Amino acid sequence: MIIFPAIDIRGGRCVRLTEGRFDQETVFADDPSEMAARWSAAGAEYLHVVDLDGALAGAGRNLPAIKKILEYASMPVQVGGGIRTLAAAAELLELGVSRVILGSAAVREPQLVAEACREFPGQVVVGIDAKDGKAAIEGWGVSGGIDAVELARKMAAVGVEHIIFTDISRDGKLSGVNVEATAALAQASGVKVIASGGVASVDDIRRLQQRAADGIEGCIIGKAIYTGAIDLREALRVAKEGC
């Protein structure tokens, strides 16, 4: 299973939010590239980066910070937050980003996702962020008016190969990942799913591994590795060895 250390950027700094709320922010580094170097040194295989300002604005706002992360990261990097046009996706991929994450666009412009999958095969990930089973958009502040599982099925139909599923109610709270909802979404869509939101201990990783056959391929870890609740090296070992 792949472990994705998370770097969320707001105002050029590395931060973590609780339940996606911008009024509940903790700053962990003034320079996000420092965290990229740190997670690289720990042996991470893939990095997950989100432009929080971009998610709210609907367009990238932290490109300089992302460029610097790419310089320091020794592993592939996937980036999301405000990517709502093919041009925006192309710009990031040309910079060296390995995969782009489309969130709000999946709800509002599914045809854009279909076009992106054709234009950038294997490099498009859809982020489905849900609360009470319903997808949320625009930095999680607005309901998308669609069931998360239904959205996942629609994305599978247009060619999406990877989905990130976040349980908003657990994100940043270290309350444990929602394994059942993640597995159900993977089963229903037939798409490989990366779990996100609430990962609190290596036991969460073990629980996700037990459902790998359902289509769970990895998990994103944010607050837990920043606070020390999880040691990234141990998490990587458990994900690799399964014990």
8: annotated active-site residue = yes
Q: How far apart are CA 131 and CA 135, in angstroms?
A: 7
φ/ψ of 154, rounded to 5, equals -65, -40
User: Scanning the structure block, which residue is given the tokens 């709502």?
Assistant: 84
| Paired strand residues for 143 | 136
204 is catalytic: no
- Given 23, 30, 53, 129, the catalytic residue: 129
**Which among 8, 167, 171, 204 is annotated as catalytic?**
8
Residue positions annotated with a catalytic role: 8, 129
